[in-house]
Structure 1
Amino acid sequence: MVTEPDSDARVPGWWGGLGLPGLIDLHVHFLPERMERRVWHHFDHGGPLMGDGWWIAYQWPVEQRVERLRELGVRSFPALAYAHKPDMAPDLNAWTLDFARRTPGCLPSATFFPEPGVVAYVRRALSDGVRIFKVHLQVGGFDPRAPELAEVWGLLAEAGVPVVVHASSVPVPGGYVGPGPIGEVLRDHPALRVVIAHLGMPEYDAFFELAARYERVALDTTMAFTDFSERGMPFPARLRPALLDLGLAGKVVLGSDFPTIPYPYAHQLDALARLDLGDAWLRAVCWDNGAAMI
């Protein structure tokens, strides 16, 4: 188990041993400083959306966090931000675009919220070169089937830009989570390139079914299989064959939740390796599938 503090130093050797040029991590967060501090406070102290919360391993200055990703060999990553109330998204999008422009390896990312003007600012984000979106149905507390979002989902399906959607009941139920709401969106927009965060835990079965049903739906590995998640939301052994098949079919991508994790980054990779699904699966999940998606 690679959970000691210096384990990150061995990550380049890990992906190098697989013959990879590095890692592509599609679930990384960077936020404006004041917002970041508030988010970390919630994790540190727990609350209605966090349960008991947890210790954050990388509660570091932004420059140090960017440098750690470089040291780990994470070649591409987004600065996923998400709006939880009206009038937030445009400013967040301006910040994340600027952050991407000045941060090597950072993918331009954006978010949205069901509100007047959402179609216009999503169009603008696409024209500005955004390559990945993020929405958090639990924290945002909104219904993805909201009428204001119907045209947005259509735009994103047409553009083929991935949308990382936190749609499951982790860490606690809330908002319009579960496979039902986002499943209805996919029924209406089957070409959407949705990435279900956290492998859909704890509703693994239902989200695996969505990934199998829709050509462009994928799952990210964020916090899945780690000791932390296995204690409360263990991955069911019955889904291992499906996990193997989906990964080799391009439908599982690496996600970490860096920096908001209670263990070294290396432990996420160790958790993937100990699944013993083979080097081809690891190469697909940690590089090939993400590269194809972005």
Structure 2
Amino acid sequence: MPEPPRSDADVPRFTAELGLPGLVDVHVHFLPERMLRKVWAYFDQAETHYGRPWPIQYRTPEPERVATLEELGVLHYAPLVYPHKPGMARWLTEWVGEFAKATPAAVRTATLFPEPDVADYLGAAVEAGARAVKVHVQVGSFDPRDDLLRPAWGLLAEAGVPAIVHCGHGPIRGKHTGLDIIAEVLKEHPQLPIVLAHAGMPDFAEALDLVQSFENVHLDTTMVGTDFSLEIAPLPPDWPERLVDVADRVVLGTDFPNIPYPYHEQIAAVAGWAAADDRLGAGFLRSVLYEAPARLLGVGDERVPPADDTHAWNRNEPGPCRR
């Protein structure tokens, strides 16, 4: 186990000592400039919304943010967009498609909203090569069980394209948040690939139960276990132990650039889980930081040397999602 990174500049050293070519991050945000400024303005009022400050760590122009991810060694990432009202999802999906075309490390993504044409624009995005779909139940304030979304969920299940779904109650409860609600969607579409954003924060135990109940459900690490989040969403005491059985379905996510701390703190948090249980260790880190998210997004043609401590869960073969 290498020493966890102590700064952003130290992240490439850490990944190199793990034998990785870099990182794959399934949960970053790039948005049209006007929309991003509104998001940042919302976080500037975080004490009103959340009862605590939320200083944006990477409040820089778009080219600089792209360069920062490159300097961190993030080889591939999913730029996520999300609407808060009808009529936005189509043009956001088109915008992020153009962003991915112009940004080599970015994979194509899409988003959705319960509206009559959702299957049309989502189907077009999947046909064009979208590798992940952002679903923000909290911000969108919609019910994921809405009849208008049934064809969209079916389309994603058939295509094997993962939906990265913010459906937990954190950081604040929404009208339709709750893992019990997304569980109903999964019961109707049991093969649907879903990534529970923020590992279902704060309902981590329930999120782990869903991963064990549905073979295509993953957890992303976004903000989980960082000092900032532990104050409001502490992890179960047996968190590393419980990760052992689902270790190949935990994937790196960070929420860059909208995090109130440096990027390396997320990597260090995951390293802490790996060190806490001998059944995890460096093999788990290689899986979370590169292998599992690369499998999920269908990327990662860089050569990764075989590990000496490969565990039974540390698979390199393609997973259940579309390739």
TM-score by length of 1: 0.95
Using the alignment, how far apart are the partners of 2:115 and 2:202 within structure 1? 29
Match of residue 82 from structure 2: 82
Is residue 2–residue 267 contact of structure 1 (8 Å, CA) maintained in 2? no
In the alignment, which residue of structure 1 is the partner of 2:260? Answer: 262
Partners of 1:187 and 1:136 in 2: how far apart? 20
Q: In structure 2, what residue type is equivalent to 1:271? A: A
C-alpha deviation, 1:245, in angstroms: 2.3
Partner of 1:170: 170
Match of 2:286 in 1: 283
CA apart distance, 1:266? 0.6
Give me the whole-angstrom Cα distance separating, in 2, the residues matched to 1:266 and 1:69.
Answer: 11
Structure 2 match to 1:61: 61
- Displacement of 1:179: 1.1
Letter in 1 for 2:90: P
Once residues 98 and 86 of structure 1 are traced to their aligned partners in structure 2, the CA distance between those partners, rounded to angstroms, is 21
Secondary structure of the residue aligned to 2:165 is: strand
Using the TM superposition, give the Cα deviation of residue 239 of structure 1 relative to its aligned residue in structure 2, in angstroms.
3.1
- Alignment-derived partner of residue 220 in structure 1: 220
Superposed displacement of residue 50, structure 1: 4.6
Q: Percent identity?
A: 48
Aligned amino acid, residue 206 of structure 2:
A
User: Equivalent residue for 1:273?
Assistant: 271
Question: Is the Cα–Cα contact under 8 Å of residues 43 and 50 in structure 1 kept in the other structure?
Answer: no
Paired residues in the alignment total 290
Q: Match of 2:291, as an amino acid? A: D
State how far apart, in whole Å, the 1-side matches of 2:119 and 2:53 are: 34
Mapped partners of 2:271, 2:47: distance in 1 = 33
Long gaps (5+) in structure 1:
none
Q: Over residues 191-250 of structure 1, what are the superposed CA-to-partner deviations in whole Å (9 max), with x where a residue is unaligned?
A: 011000001111111111001100000000000010111112111112322212211xx2
Query: Residue 251 in 1 paired to residue 254 in 2?
Result: no
Residues of 2 paired with 1:215 and 1:3: CA distance?
32
Q: Deviations over 1:243-279 (max 9, x none)?
A: 12211xx210000000000111011111111221410
Q: Do 2:137 and 2:166's aligned partners in 1 also have CA atoms closer than 8 Å?
A: yes
CA contact (8 A) 1:49 1:171 kept: no
User: Which deviations, in whole Å up to 9, do the C-alpha atoms of 1:51-85 show, x marking residues without a partner?
Assistant: 54500100110000000000111011011001111
Moved more, 64-73 or 51-60: 51-60
Q: 1:48 to 1:87 in 2, by over 3 A?
A: farther
Give SS of 1:274's match: helix
Q: Equivalents in 1 of 2:77, 2:91: separation in Å?
A: 20
Summarize the Cα distance change of 1:53–1:150 in structure 2 as closer, same or farther, 3 Å threshold: farther
CA distance in structure 2 between the aligned counterparts of 1:107 and 1:149, rounded to whole angstroms: 24
1:92 aligns to 2:95 (yes or no): no
Deviation at 1:48, TM superposition (A): 7.2
Distance 1:49 1:124, change over 3 A: farther
Instruction: Give the residue type in structure 2 aligned to 1:283.
Output: R
Structure 1 equivalent of residue 161 of structure 2:
161
Distance across 2 between alignment mates of 1:195 and 1:49? 26
CA RMSD of aligned residues (A): 1.5
Q: Structure 1 residues 164, 135: CA separation in 2 closer, same or farther (over 3 Å shift)?
A: same
Question: Are 1:28 and 1:255, in contact at CA under 8 Å, matched by a contact in 2?
Answer: yes
CA contact (8 A) 1:3 1:263 kept: no
**Is contact 2:252-2:293 (8 Å) kept?**
yes
CA contact (8 A) 2:109 2:132 kept: yes
Summarize the alignment of residues 86-235 of structure 1 with structure 2, pairs less than 5 Å apart. 86-235=86-235
Provide the secondary structure at the position in 1 that maps to 2:14.
helix
Query: Counterpart in 1 of 2:314?
Result: none
In 1: Cα distance, 2:67 partner to 2:296 partner:
25
Q: Does the 8 Å CA contact 1:82/1:136 hold for their aligned counterparts? A: yes
User: 1:262 & 1:101 partners in 2: Cα distance?
Assistant: 29
Q: Indicate if the aligned counterparts of 1:86 and 1:114 stay in contact, CA closer than 8 A.
A: yes
Aligned partner of residue 79 in structure 1, secondary structure:
strand
Structure 1 runs of 4+ with >3 Å offset: 1-4, 47-53
Unpaired runs of 5+ in structure 2? 298-323
Distance 1:2 1:288 in 2: 19
Q: In the alignment, residue 256 of structure 2 is paired with which amino acid?
A: F
Contact 1:49/1:139 (8 A) holds in 2: no
